[in-house]
A and B are shown apart, each in its own frame.
Chain A
Amino acid sequence: MKRGRAVGIDLGTSNSVVAIIDADGAPRILTTEEGSTTLPSLIWFAPDGPVIGEAAREGLDQAPDVTVFGAKRLLGRRFDHPEVRRLSRTLPYELVESPNGDVWISLAPGKTVSPEEVCALILYELKRTAERFLGEPVTSAVITIPAWYDAAQRQATKDAAQIAGLDVMRLLSEPTAAALGHGAHRGADRKYLVCDLGGGTFDVAAVDLEGGVFEVLATTGDPFLGGDDVDRAVVEHLVRDIRQVKALDVSTDPIAIERLRIAAQRAKHELSGVSTTPIHVAELVQLPSGKTAEYKRSMRRDELELWSAPLVRRLEAPIRDALARSGRKREDVHEVLLVGGMTRMPAVRREIARVSGREPSIVPNPEEVVAVGAALEVARLEGAIEGVLLIDVAARGISLSTNEGDCELVIAQSSVVPTREHRLFPTRQDNQARIEFDIWEGESVEAAKNRHLGKYAVVDLPDGPSGDVLALVEITLDTDGTIRLGASELVSGDRLQIEQLVHTGLTRADVARFARQFAEAS
């Protein structure tokens, strides 16, 4: 197959962005058909085919049980994880357990879809966006992921890309991408603190640039803090105001609330630039008399800041935590980077400046800088940019066990990737044909405290007396932090086959099959 162009993709929980580097070296964010730079990570499985992005918002109203959002959070997760259990009770769509224990999404009785396929649809839409702009096929991509993604989540992201027909050149951690997009690679050695406050979550990462090498030292965050929470705080105050001024209780009227939320969001955006803005909801609620009530008031920036103050105060703890975990004081940080749309809010900037002790750098396009970083990474891998390198470490340790016994740590947490370790398994019986072993993520001796990644068997061992045949199993964590297995017979050096018995995530065959179906369907 002819190799097409490559793009940088920020695959976000709520919004995704695709970017390229122009021929003249300038980054360019590609816009969707509606002319927006961000694509909502939202899919409505409508009766006549999936609807992706902005148009799928209608699905949230019409068929919330088949409109999937936030699939990124489900990637590479197991169904029996307590957090997934909790989540399955609050999501409008139904989560089910796949045959190998992963979490999948049920669209109708007997019809399920894996989170990988959902993400593939989003990636495919971004790929189409890029192809429309470039006028030539796009076949590979750099995709950003949270720095703390474990091996299974990384593999799931790669699988999603493969289903969408994209070859992953590299998985890039989001804080590194942000620093890269900010142009950090052109500057001197620095210690960065990257604060990403988006629609739903707040992420902080300590990133070091030393001699052209980027390293993520620590990540923390608050998963419940974002722009949506500010909107809700504003709406609550508006509801109180309406009760006082108009003697109307709209708190139980979902339609009025939704209209107030839209007005609050618009006011919030405008108040980043001006100090007063009008709020106007023409048809707030229908009165018993049949007439509609209108709501009008002006909103000042200090009101917004007062109302969102409890939320803004929650920025402090994760920042302090990130500094502590990376083992440094706030004076050691050279630059604070603000990423995500919410960092436009002056109150947010002030608070981060207060906590970190320095004026944060203003990124002109905080929503898109991560995608720009991914596009720059493409250029770097293609050799267009030199002198910069990204180092990843294993987010969690990899352990191994045989015969349901204790787990033995093979690759320690925070080992630099790529890396490889091996273990030696002698046969325990004469002419033993196979040796089974389990791979776990985690560093505990007890299997129950680790996460099961899979059960494998070294098969077709050569004949020989007990203990004479030695299987050498090699576990490689590659540059992207995903696991690869290999085996050989120690004495002869012959390669041995490894059979996959149980495996977390999609199997290679599944991925190939989904990719084929995908290519046929589109």
Chain B
Amino acid sequence: MRCTTWEQVEVFHTRKLRAGRLLSMKVPFDAEIGAQVTLGLELPNNVVMAIDGVVQKASPIEGDSKTWIEVELAGFTEDVIARIRGMAEGSGPAVEPEPAPPPAPSVRTSMPRVSEEDLPNDERHLFQQLTTELRRMRGAAVHEVLGVESDAGPEAVRRGWMSLVRRHHPDLVARHRAPAISHLAEELTILANRAYDRQRASLVADGRATAIRSALKPPPGWLVGFDDIASNGQRAATATSDVSVKLVEPPKLPVDPNSLQGGEAFESRARAMLSEGDSAHAQEVLAAALCVYPRSRTLRSLYYVAASITALQGGEVMLATSQLETALAHFDSCREASLILDHIRRNGSQRLDDLRRHFR
């Protein structure tokens, strides 16, 4: 339960609580009658009061994982109420989770408006000044932190926040290189930012401002940007792009990279693919291999052999033949190229499965 102004605290215990101590609320867990619960009541000065209670009634809400419960806040004693009132008045003993800030001063008399004078430059005085301002702000309600009226509009809230940030932002004191001062500045800015976010949220809830949604998003697929092949859902039209991005299907090295040296690893992988009739992948592996070993004649000729098989699978006998001739031009004793040329002369683009055995 969070109250951002002292008025809300007053309303909480005078109106929201029935008979001074019965609270009805929706909770996101199953509650049993008689169960012990603790309500964290957050006060405008960032103090959280833990108030014990016992569940008196519980009824699950249909179609929701939440439960309506009625809690008797046994811990909400006169003593506690007096303490809270005391804090609101600024005269009671403070129960602060933060390490020992002094009692909150009266909020009525000391609205912590942003002081107009500049912060002192020398470190000791700066430290003291920031400490004082932090104390004052910790004891203030949200709108008082921002130095605006409780019903201020979005413009005023933003102006108030802006002037705080321009005074206290840790970057402004970074030049002192003093961790203690940076820490104080960060604490002050955290208070200002939280007050700003809360005030904005309540303005949105009142319908006086529109919700601000962050539009800081990575462009879709930012991670997959190394190749453009899948970029607009279509493969690049020619083989050009595939080769110029160097690697489409990367060759993975065999488990023991020492077992095969240099291009042989690529070659054996490509041959294995060709023996299974997967010439398109073999071609990609060989294209990758050629980026690594551009001078290997075996790899070059095998690349064109693979390309010719791909062409044959598409029924393009002429293209396949010219690819095989290129293979032989690169490496004139390429056995596979000669064998496939023979095959084409006899069978054309038929019975391609017969070709597989040449690569075993």
Q: Which residues of A contact B (CB under 8 A)?
A: 3, 13, 60-65, 69-70, 73-74, 77, 81, 83-84, 86-87, 89-94, 108-109, 146-148, 169-170, 200-203, 210-213, 216-224, 228-229, 231-232, 235-236, 239, 249, 251-255, 257-258, 261, 286-288, 290, 318, 322, 325-326, 380-383, 389-391, 393-396, 405-406, 408, 412-422, 424, 426, 466-467, 470, 472, 476, 478-479, 488, 490-491, 493
Contact = CB atoms under 8 A, between A and B. Distances in A.
B186 interface: yes
Given A413-B214, A418-B190, A490-B50, A224 B244 contact: no
Given A219-B219, A390-B171, 8 more contacts: A73-B225, A92-B246, A220-B219, A223-B218, A224-B225, A389-B169, A406-B28, A412-B197
B165 A213 contact: yes
B347 interface: no
B40 A424 contact: yes
A148 B175 contact: no
24 contacts: A64-B291, A65-B253, A70-B225, A87-B224, A90-B227, A92-B246, A220-B215, A221-B222, A232-B240, A232-B245, A236-B240, A252-B304, A252-B307, A253-B243, A254-B294, A261-B244, A414-B213, A414-B214, A416-B193, A418-B170, A419-B193, A424-B40, A426-B38, A472-B48
Given A213-B166, A395-B214, A201 B323 contact: no
A217 B215 contact: yes
Nearest to B29: A405
Contacts of A252: 239, 243, 303-304, 307, 323
A349 B53 CA distance: 67
Nearest to B323: A252
B170 A216 contact: no
Which 7 A-B residue pairs are closest in the complex by CB-CB distance?
A383-B175, A414-B214, A218-B215, A221-B219, A288-B329, A325-B215, A224-B231
A380 B226 contact: no
Contacts of A211: 162, 166
Given A251-B240, A258-B244, A419-B193, A89 B215 contact: no
A470 B171 contact: no
Interface of B: 28-29, 36, 38, 40, 48, 50, 52, 65, 96-99, 162, 165-166, 169-172, 174-175, 177, 186, 189-190, 193-194, 196-197, 201, 212-232, 236-241, 243-253, 255-257, 287-288, 290-292, 294, 303-304, 307, 322-323, 325-326, 328-330
A216 B244 CA distance: 36
A415 B190 CA distance: 11
A295 B287 CA distance: 22
B97 A472 contact: yes
A395 B214 CA distance: 7
A81 B221 CA distance: 11
Contacts of B291: 60-61, 64, 254
Given A92-B246, A478-B186, A415 B193 contact: yes
B290 A254 contact: yes
B226 A90 contact: yes
A140 B253 CA distance: 40
A381 B240 contact: no
B169 A223 contact: no
A413 to B, nearest CB: 5
Given A148-B216, A412-B197, A479-B171, A92 B323 contact: no
A42 to B, nearest CB: 12
Contacts of B29: 405
Contact of A287 (B97, B256, B257, B329): B329
Nearest to B319: A249
Nearest to B159: A211
A210 B161 CA distance: 13
Contacts of B257: 108-109
Contacts of B189: 418, 479
Contact of B244 (A94, A235, A476): A235
A222 B357 CA distance: 46
A314 B213 CA distance: 26
A419 B200 CA distance: 14
A290 B228 CA distance: 35
Contacts of B190: 418-420, 476
Given A148-B218, A223-B220, A258-B244, A288 B194 contact: no
Nearest to B290: A254
B217 A236 contact: no
A109 B255 contact: yes
A257 B244 contact: yes
Contacts of B220: 223
Nearest to A411: B197
Contacts of A87: 223-224, 226
Given A91-B226, A213-B162, A236-B241, A64 B246 contact: yes
B73 to A, nearest CB: 14
Contact of B240 (A73, A109, A257): A257
Contact of B36 (A64, A91, A466, A491): A466
Nearest to A288: B329
Contacts of B238: 236, 239, 251
A413 B172 contact: no
Contacts of A201: 219, 222, 225
A393 B171 contact: no
B304 to A, nearest CB: 7
Nearest to A65: B253
B294 A232 contact: no
A83 B246 contact: no
A74 B251 CA distance: 21
Given A62-B292, A418-B170, A413 B240 contact: no
A17 B186 CA distance: 30
Contact of B217 (A84, A220, A391, A491): A220
A63 B292 contact: yes
Contacts of A89: 249-250
Contacts of B38: 424, 426, 467, 470
A169 B174 contact: yes
B252 A251 contact: no
B105 to A, nearest CB: 21
Contacts of A70: 225-226
A398 B347 CA distance: 67
Contacts of A415: 193, 197
Contact of A255 (B221, B231, B290): B290
A170 B171 contact: yes
Given A236-B240, A252-B243, A288-B325, A413 B213 contact: yes
A91 B250 contact: yes
Contacts of A419: 190, 193-194, 197
A422 B48 contact: yes
B292 A64 contact: yes
Contacts of B215: 217-220, 322, 325-326
A417 B228 contact: no
Contacts of B330: 286
A242 B178 CA distance: 67
A222 B247 contact: no
A236 B222 contact: no
B221 A223 contact: yes
Nearest to A204: B219
Contacts of B186: 418, 478-479
